[in-house]
Every structure is written in C-alpha cells, then in structure tokens.
Amino acid sequence: MRTSIECIACFVRQAAEAVGLVVEDRRREELLRLLLKEIAACDWRGSPPVVGQVIHRIIRRELGVDDPYRALKRHLNDKAEELVPVIRETLGRRSDREAALLRVAAAGNLLDAGAKSGIAPQDLHGVLQRLWRLPFRGDARDFFRRTAQARSILYLADNAGEIFFDRLLVEELPRDRVTVAVRGAPTLNDATLEDARRAGLTGLVRVIANGSDAPGTVLADCSAEFREEFERAELIISKGQGNFETLSEEDGRIYFLFTVKCEVVGRKVGAAVGTLLCVPGGGG
C-alpha cells in the first residue's frame, strides 16, 4: 500500500505525539523541527511504515535511547495481562467462540501508540465491554478451517499488550505448526522478543524476530531467516494495520487481522473506521 497525501498529516501528528511522550520539554521543539524536515525529505512512494521507521530511528538516535517506549509497553502489557482472565471467562460463555476469538485478537490491535484512533491502556476495559457490538467482517469458520489444514503457519505479531490477546488465539491454533514473528528491534510500541516472553508465547510456540525496526513488515528490510519463513509458510496471519500497509499487495496466503484505524485504509478495504477485520489477501 503506497503512502497517500492524507498520510502526511498522520506522520506529523505521530511525530508530535512521539516527541511529547518521550522527550523532555527543552528538546521537544528542536527534535520536532528535525522530524518535520525528515518527513518532507522522505520518499513518499513507499508504504507508510517506511516513513514511520525513519521517524522513530531519528528519535532513538537523538535521544540516545534504544527503546523510548519501554515504559509504555510495560504498562500496555500490565493492563492486557490483567484482562486475560476476564476475557477467558467471557470466551467460555460465547456460543460463537471462534468468531469471538477473532474479535478479541482484532480489538487488541487498538493498543497502538502510532494510530490516530488508538486507545490508551486505561481505556482497554471499556473497549472490551463494547467488543460484541463493534462491526466485524470476516468468516471465522473459513479462517479456522484454513489454519487446521495449513502445514505451516507464520503469525506476524504487532503491538505490546496486544500480544497477550494474540496468545489467546495462538492457543487455539495447531501450535506445533505455528511460528510467531515479532519486530527485530524496538520501534513505537511494537512487540519484540521481550514482549513475547512476557506474554508467555515463547513457552507455547516457536518465536523469531524479523530483523527489522520498521512498524510493519517491510520484507526487503527483514532478515534472511525471516524471509525464508515467510516464503515457506502455507498460511500467514498478519496482525495490525502496519503489517497490512506493508503486505497488502502480497498473495492469498495471508489473512489480515486488525482494526481499521484510518480513512485511507478503510477505503482500501471497503470498511468504516472501527471495523474489526479478518480477511484473506489477494482474493484468497
């Protein structure tokens, strides 16, 4: 998915919010001016996460901090972990358990520090209370049929906090055939190996890092190990809007599972902002 003119305002907002979140007052204006200059100089022909990668590399470099979002990610993980027992209990009462699992996984995608319509950790409980009334597009029966048949599944994780809800879904998949991939280095509040361990995924399935610090899956920027896993997988479950933006032109092996968080993506998938999606790519 290529960057559109409408994405530029989102880059500026994301840069301003990032500076406000992780930078002390005396450096905010200086760093924001630098980020605005770099956004203007970027090649806008690529996908939006490529520009996001530039923004967050500069923030880490200028601050001299490898993970400016570490405290936020810890808070996201704490809040998500608190809710897991409640969610398990709720899922146990649902007659549509398969669709409910997909709703939970997609709604967890709202824990996104880079999205215009992302939510704060303290708002998560309220979203889960409204979860069953949110619009959902997808075929849960087809999704679980395809996961049962696939000889190898690559699950692309997205954010910290959200990764606890990913675990609930991964537990229902054929775990001996599942590999979960996380970011290769910190970027935004995206999940890394540290977050996968915290969520208990490393004790459940094989987990690898993708070798990249992009807030999406930019295949050309990923490690050879990850690209081999990507090519070998019979089915790929792609979590999050950033992964959709970078992989939307790929083939029908991919199931995209996320919440629509902006009008640009909404137009591309034909769904309103706030819709929970579980849809195959490439017409697959």
Please state, in angstroms and as integers, the Cα–Cα distance from residue 126 to each residue in 31, 43, 83, following that order: 34, 39, 11
Quick one: pLDDT at residue 123? 62
Per-residue pLDDT of the chain (284 residues; tens, 9 = 90+): 888 888 898 888 888 888 887 777 778 888 999 999 999 998 888 899 999 999 999 988 988 889 988 988 998 899 889 889 989 998 999 999 999 999 999 988 776 555 444 455 556 666 667 788 889 999 999 999 999 999 999 999 999 999 999 999 999 999 999 999 999 999 989 999 999 999 999 999 999 999 999 999 999 999 999 999 999 999 999 999 999 999 998 878 999 999 998 899 999 999 999 999 999 986 44
Long-range contacts, 84-91 (Cβ 8 Å, 24+) = 84/164, 84/167, 84/168, 86/128, 87/128, 87/165, 87/168, 88/168, 91/168
Quick one: pLDDT at residue 225? 95
pTM: 0.91
**Cα distance between residue 63 and residue 283, in whole Å:** 43
Quick one: pLDDT at residue 135? 93
**Cα distance between residue 15 and residue 17, in whole Å:** 6
User: Beta 276-280 vs 254-259: how paired, if at all?
Assistant: antiparallel
Quick one: pLDDT at residue 283? 45
Quick one: pLDDT at residue 122? 55
Quick one: pLDDT at residue 68? 86
Asked if 22 and 13 count as a contact pair (C-beta separation under 8 A), the reply is: no
Quick one: pLDDT at residue 124? 60
Quick one: pLDDT at residue 24? 74
Quick one: pLDDT at residue 109? 75
Checking phi first, is residue 200 left (phi over 0); if not, alpha (psi -120 to 50) or beta? Answer: left
Neighbour tally for 267: CB within 10 Å: 12
